[in-house]
Amino acid sequence: MHKQSGWIAAGIVAVTMPAGPAVARELVAFDAAAEAGTVVVRTAERRLYFINGDGTAIRYPVAVGKAGKQWTGYARIDGKYLRPAWSPPDEVKRDNPRLPDVIAGGSPSNPMGAAALTLDRGEYAIHGTNRPGSIGTFASYGCIRMYNQDVADLYGRVQVGATVVVTR
């Protein structure tokens, strides 16, 4: 399956989690008016919140877009993929011409990690990573990166069609 310009292809297989932090996510109070199942990304905090609908949210640390690559606004999750293959978008390929056209799902060099939640806004996704040291930083071309075990947790909670709100 290809997403828009062919930047992601899915292979549905079992997810294996590489070593990382024991538990990066935590349950926190969340007062903002948001419907249960909504995902809120606060770029300045480098945190993603999955809204439970009872005044709490699950908070995850994330990496966000680097300077000039950030975006704000609304999107919807339009796909869920385990161990997706990745094709670099044109902008990434221009900046890194030596990248292959496709990196197979499950490959240690695949930047999508264990799972990806694609968004209906351009070539963006909430996804795992092969660079866990980037979590908590401004590192991407606009995607939201998570620890692999956290994206697997979110994958099990979020539904296709869920609203994603990205704020500064």
Q: Mapped to the 3 state alphabet, what secondary structure does the chain carry?
A: CCCCCCCEECCCCCCCCCCCCCCCCEEEECCCCCCCCCEEEECCCCEEEEECCCCEEEEEEEEEECCCCCCCEEEEEEEEEECCEECCCHHHHHHCCCCCCCECCCCCCCCCCCEEEEECCCCCEEECCCCHHHCCCEEECCCEEECHHHHHHHHHHCCCCCEEEEEC
What pLDDT is stored for residue 3 in this prediction? 40
- Chain position carrying tokens 């866990």: 132
On whether the CB atoms of residues 51 and 41 are closer than 8 A, the answer is: no
pLDDT of residue 13: 36
Whether the CB-CB separation of 151 and 113 falls below 8 Å is answered with yes
C-beta separation of 126 from 164 below 8 A? yes
Side chain identity, residue 106: G
Predicted pLDDT of residue 122: 81
Q: Which of 47, 53, 60 is nearest to 35 (CA)?
A: 53
Per-residue pLDDT of the chain (168 residues; tens, 9 = 90+): 334 334 444 433 333 444 444 457 999 999 878 999 999 999 999 999 999 999 999 999 999 999 999 999 999 999 999 999 999 889 999 999 999 999 999 999 999 999 999 999 988 999 999 999 999 999 999 999 999 999 999 999 999 999 999 999
Query: Residue 23: what pLDDT?
Result: 57
DSSP-assigned beta bridge partners for residue 127: 116, 145
Catalytic sites, residue numbers: 127, 143
